[in-house]
Amino acid sequence: MNTRKKEIFSKNLKYYMKLKGKSRKDIEDDTGIPYNSIRDYEKGYCYAKSSKIKAIAECLGVSIPMLTEEHDIDDSLHIVDDTEESKLLLNIKNIIYNSEDSKLLYKCLSELSKLDKQKLKYILTTIDMIK
């Protein structure tokens, strides 16, 4: 198997797992793919079969090319989902990459990605008032 393909899949899988707040166990539960296989994909040890890539993509709510093709992650987020929530998540992601306290920010990102639009709008309004 092409090493570069494994690296790309690994990078994209790790990124979208963090973005969507999904653990290996979550993906295992949702797809039936064994935990150890997901770990191996994430670490770049092996490349998944197309049926497993499709299942993982559905679980993460992304397209198959978002997992398998090299691309600028920032641009791909808007291709997958061009909503206000995605824009907020992208802004938070940028903060995470420039912060020393990334664990707390990752947790916040994960929780925000689970909110419905009304709750998210309330949070954004509150933040605007604080600024």
Domain count, the chain: 2
Indicate whether 9 and 43 sit together in one domain: yes
Q: Is residue 76 part of a domain?
A: no
In a domain, 78, yes or no: no
Asked if residue 119 is part of any domain, the answer here is yes
Nearest to 32 by CA among 16, 48, 19: 48
CATH number for the domain harbouring residue 61: 1.10.260.40
Q: Side-chain half-sphere of 36: how many Cα atoms within 13 Å?
A: 0
Computed from CA positions of residues 16, 31, 24, 43, in that sequence, does the dihedral angle turn out positive or negative?
A: negative
Average pLDDT across the chain, whole number: 78
pLDDT, tens only, 91-111: 666 666 556 666 666 667 667
65 and 8: one domain? yes
64 and 36 assigned to the same domain? yes
Q: In terms of domains, do 66 and 38 share one?
A: yes
Tell me, yes or no, whether 87 lies in a domain: yes
Whether 48 and 9 have beta carbons less than 8 Å apart is answered as: yes
pLDDT along the chain (131 residues), means of 10: 88 87 95 97 94 95 87 50 60 62 66 72 68 51
Residues 16 and 55 in one domain: yes
- Clarify whether residues 106 and 61 are in a common domain: no
How far, in Å, CA of 129 to CA of 8, rounded? Answer: 41
Tell me the residue range of the domain where 32 lies. 3-71
Q: Same structural domain for residues 98 and 53?
A: no
Q: Are 54 and 12 in a shared domain?
A: yes
**What pTM, to 2 d.p., does this model score?**
0.57
